[in-house]
Chains A and B, each alone.
Chain A
Amino acid sequence: MTAPRRPVAAELRKSLDLQPVLVPFFAIVLALVVGAVAILLIGKNPLEAYWALARGMFGSTDRIAASLGRSTPFIGAALAVAFAFRAGLFNIGAEGQLLVGATAAAWVGTWSSTRGMPGVVAIPVLLVAGAAAGLVYGGIPGALKARTGAHEVITTIMLNSIALLYVRWMVSSQDPIILRDTGSTVPRTATIESSARLPDLVSSEPPLHLGFFIMVALAALAWFVLQRTTFGFEIRTIGANADAARYAGMNVGRTMLLAMAISGAFAGLAGAGEISGTSGFLSPGVFIGIGFDSIAIALLARANPYAIIPASILWGSMLSGAGLMQQDVGLSIDAVRIIQALVLLFVAADVIVRTVFRLRREAAGAFETSTLASGWGSS
């Protein structure tokens, strides 16, 4: 019998347990090995390539800062995917929700009334606008799911297309002019007021701005909500066993709707953070792929809010460091995409990793989320 009143010791033991990170870790190792073969086939030296990649990722203060800057939106968007997933919902729509959030922020940021505000007011206004837009846009598939049972995978994919095309039109259209900056020859919005810009900590390219720490705090918040609140308990119960949740008197539809809306808010906040911290304006196609990469990151982190931070940093820094690899070794940035795809492949097909590295299977149900990659269609 374990003594009942030792939660601290139990937490500590849990945190020292390396089991949960073994599969992702070895998946990365295996992806690098297989990726090396791919690089060899291209006719380059994989060791040189990896060395250049590593230097590109973390070779100097500036590069580290750039890596973290690049990782920032991934944290928020991956949290969005993970949060919904804990409620048993597969939110494919982070892409669209992020874009809607960014658009709202870009719009609010150009209001003349924003100009007069001090940063401590303007920045929160901008971020809240982005989060609210994402909240609504994530709430739509949530409501459809709760009211009609429409599968969120289908609806979020469709909403992605709608968001992408609609935002592109709003930013590009010259007649009528909606968000387009008339002073610019290329389609883009006007630059937001400087008071609404998140301050840079390191002016790298991309910069490491305050948004990074906001995203880290967001991960802590997501963890707290899931683990420590009654609402989080409802979300986790629904995700683990929706029938049991219904039996336990939980309002499954309402909780799903809220989970999707909050998920959308996380993604919207990530989009607003990018407008405010990195680009300062919105142009068509600027955030393409962040929402989709976030699904991969959430998978790598097994929908654990804390694990999303290192997973996002790994993801963002690889993209950030790939430039140096291209420059030094002459290897296309796409090589990094191949490695990332392999990481995902091995995380999803964890049997391969377990067989190669002879890992034993963790106790059944050790992860509420271990089926992230399989069987979403059956829910």
Chain B
Amino acid sequence: MPPVTVSTTGASDARVVLEARKITKTFPGVIANQDVDLTLHHGEIHCLLGENGAGKSTLMNVLYGLYRPDSGEILVRGEPVSFDSSSDAIARGIGMVHQHFQLIPTFTVAENVALGHETSHRGRLDLDVTRERIADIAVRYGLAVDPDAVVGELSVGVQQRIELIKALERDAEILILDEPTAVLTPGEVDDFFEVVRTLVDKGKSIVFITHKLREVLAVADRISVLRGGRTVGHADPKTSTEQDLANLMVGRDVVFAVDKAPSKPGVPELTLRDVSITDSRGVETVRSLDLQVRRGEIYGIAGVEGNGQRELVEAVTGMRTPSAGTISLGDEDITHRTPRHIADLGVGHVPEDRNRHGVVGSFSVAENSVLNQYHQRPFSSRLLRRDQPIRAWATTLVSQFDIRTPGIDVLVSTLSGGNQQKVIVAREMSRPELRLLVVAQPTRGLDVGSIEFIHSRIVEMRDAGVAVLLVSAELDEILSLSDRIGVMYRGELAGEFDRADTSREEVGLLMASGKQEEART
């Protein structure tokens, strides 16, 4: 164990524990990293900032031994190393927490931590050693967790803690955290930052990958920015602003505030009356909800994920039937209508999970552009698909929505996440006679440029008189887009505000109220 440095943030000293020199890594047709340098000092949090596709994950996978660089050098504590696999990296004290957890949900915490280097006793699995080590880590780093809890039953925040424990249990001194906050709620993020600071105080060194500017400024000791596979700059969090970092990351001036005029709401378009919804497990996730969205306004639903937003969206779009109450679109009762019927009434739906619902990855851009309109004129006539109108439509959407694709015959799965999302947004916003647009997590995982674009399109739709129901776990997104805000908490509307009369703090507090029992296990 290295000597314990007791201090608050910024506890780095001059010792370099990890250094990457001129790392270049290419994939067929793509230069993922070109001459990238990275220096990690002992006891610091080094944030690596960049848009999706900037090469952050590639660099981390190189450092963790998952990719072999084409050229360049890696030094651990001044010593040149060459990793053939992640186990070489682990042996050198490097641990990584992936964005997507590498946990087996049906195993207990101890079993997951032991996975890969289990201690056995005459062929029998012996988890006592692991349990002791987990307890030890819990005390030292404040990472309390029950070793015998089944992972699948724990919250996402706790699961992430287990990932950290896994790395620490293997004596990692250098931790690579790949977008660790992407899956966390605002409250969990704060807890997570606390843990990260404790780790650094206890002598660990951390590379923290993110594209969220607020977090970078909150947690980093130093910042490096990647763009297009190159290091484009370094920044000091004490003297930088979010605007500086965004400009550096995107390479041009970024407009942060969504430019929008005051809303001119018209008559109610979507009305929910006393709606209750039961999810697939039989749990009532939405309880007696009343809600109204008017033409020409954006109604934002804020809330920590899992408070019934998903079921609400499914009910409005016909994918789930409410157990009680009525949903109407204009004058028509759509409570028991099918998704097809509701969509054909002029309801666009940008779904939360774009790969699961929004696109078919193995279909072309053209086929995806009519995924839910293929049966209508002019895309079909008498049960036959009509190729030319479909292609013409897809071509129009690609140019109108600036979808970056080599062509309309390209498979959607080969596009970046941002462009896949643009395919969906384009399709849903271009519906004929659009009346209601239901948008769930529209910019999740997208880069700044795509977020800007999608936000401005949502506002355009509103200005054209469409009623917009926006559901997002990103409080900033809700605040910057919505005209009215409803906060969902445990399936109920805990509060409703006019955007002009509320603050980030007020909404945030309401979102978080009652999160106590979730925070600690």
Digitize A125-154: 1 where CB-to-B-CB distance is under 8 Å, 0 elsewhere: 000000000000000000000000000000
Bitwise, B345-371 to A at CB < 8 A (1) or not (0) is 000010100001111111100010001
> Given A4-B394, A7-B387, is A241 in contact with B319 using a C-beta cutoff of 8 Å?
no
Q: A5-B391, A247-B339, A365-B413 are in contact. Are A233 and B361 (CB under 8 A)?
A: no
Q: Is the CB of A10 within 8 A of B409?
A: yes
A249 and B372 contact, CB distance less than 8 A: yes
Q: Please, which residues of chain A bring their CB within 8 A of the CB of B406?
A: 1-2
A240 touches B392 (CB 8 A): no
Residues of chain A within 8 A (CB-CB) of B372 are 247-249
- Annotate B104-146 by CB proximity to A: 1 below 8 A, 0 otherwise: 0000000000000000000000000000000000000000000
Give the distance to chain A from B401, nearest Cβ to Cβ, in Å.
15
CB proximity to B under 8 Å, residues A210-248: 228-233, 236-237, 240-241, 243-244, 246-248
A364 within 8 A of B: yes
Q: Indicate whether A368 reaches chain B with its CB closer than 8 angstroms.
A: yes
Residue with the greatest number of chain B CB neighbours at <10 A, chosen from A7, A230, A237, A251: A230
**Is there contact, CB below 8 Å, between B340 and A364?**
no
Task: Give Cα A363–Cα B28 distance, bound, in whole angstroms.
Answer: 11
Instruction: Indicate if B338 sits at the interface (CB-CB under 8 A).
Output: yes
Main secondary structure of the interface of B (DSSP, over half): mixed
Task: Give chain B's interface residue range (CB within 8 Å of chain A).
Answer: 35 or more
In contact, A249 and B363 (Cβ under 8 angstroms) = no
A5/B356 in contact, CB under 8 A: no
With the chains together, A241 CA to B360 CA distance in Å?
6
Taken together as a complex, chains A and B put the C-alpha atoms of A244 and B355 apart, in Å, by: 8
How long is the Cα–Cα vector from A228 to B379 in the complex, in angstroms? 11
Min CB distance, A373 to chain B, in Å? Answer: 17
Closest Cβ–Cβ distance, residue A181 to chain B (whole Å): 44
Asked whether B385 is an interface residue with its Cβ less than 8 Å from the other chain, the reply is: yes
Beta-carbon nearest neighbor of B379 in chain A: A230
CA distance A145 to B388 in the complex (A): 36
Which A residues between 151 and 177 are near B, CB-CB below 8 angstroms?
none
Contact B411–A363 (Cβ < 8 Å): yes
Among residues 6 to 56 in chain B, which have CB atoms less than 8 Å away from a CB atom of chain A?
none
The answer to whether A365 and B362 touch across the interface, beta carbons within 8 angstroms, is: yes
Distance (whole angstroms) from the CB of B375 to the closest CB of chain A: 5
Asked if A249 and B391 sit within 8 Å, CB to CB, the answer is no
Q: Which residue of B lies closest to A247 (CB)?
A: B357
Contact A7 B374 (CB under 8 A): no
Question: Assuming the A-B contacts A228-B385, A229-B383, A248-B372, are A240 and B351 also in contact, with contact meaning beta carbons closer than 8 angstroms in the complex?
Answer: no
Asked if A366 lies at the interface with its beta carbon under 8 angstroms from chain B, I say yes
Chain A residue, CB-CB nearest to B28: A360
Q: In the complex, which residues of chain B have a beta carbon less than 8 angstroms from the beta carbon of A363?
A: 411, 414
Do B356 and A244 touch (CB < 8 A)?
Answer: yes
Q: Select one of A230, A243, A244, A246 contacting B374, CB under 8 A.
A: A230
- The answer to whether residues A240 and B340 also contact, given A2-B409, A248-B372 and a CB cut-off of 8 A, is no
B512 to chain A, nearest CB (A): 31
Q: Shortest CB–CB separation between residue B20 and chain A, in angstroms?
A: 28
**Interface set, chain A 228-283, CB cutoff 8 A to B:** 228-233, 236-237, 240-241, 243-244, 246-251
Q: Which residues does chain B contribute within 8 Å of A251, judged by CB atoms?
A: 338, 340
CB distance from A72 to the nearest CB of B (A): 29
Residue contact B391 to A233, C-beta cutoff 8 Å: no
List, in ascending order, chain A residues with CB within 8 A of B338's CB: 249, 251
User: A249's contact among B339, B360, B407, by CB below 8 Å, is which?
Assistant: B339
Contact of A249 with B343 at beta-carbon distance under 8 Å, contacts A240-B361, A240-B362 already known: yes
From A1, A7, A230, B385 is in contact (CB under 8 Å) with A230
B456 on interface, CB distance cutoff 8 Å: no
Contacts known (A5-B391, A240-B361); A365 close to B411, Cβ less than 8 A: yes
Residues of A within 8 A of B387 (CB): 7
Q: Within the assembled complex, what's the spacing in Å between the Cα atoms of A249 and B375?
A: 10
Beyond the given A228-B384, A230-B384, A240-B362, please list 9 additional residue pairs across the A-B interface where CB-CB is below 8 A. Answer: A1-B406, A4-B392, A4-B408, A10-B409, A230-B385, A243-B356, A244-B359, A249-B318, A365-B413
Q: Which residues of A contact B (CB under 8 A)?
A: 1-2, 4-5, 7, 10, 228-233, 236-237, 240-241, 243-244, 246-251, 363-368
Can you list 24 A-B contacts with CB-CB less than 8 angstroms, sorted by A residue number?
Answer: A1-B407, A2-B408, A2-B409, A4-B392, A5-B392, A7-B387, A229-B384, A230-B375, A231-B383, A237-B371, A240-B361, A240-B362, A244-B357, A246-B319, A246-B339, A247-B319, A247-B351, A249-B318, A249-B338, A249-B339, A249-B341, A363-B414, A364-B361, A366-B411
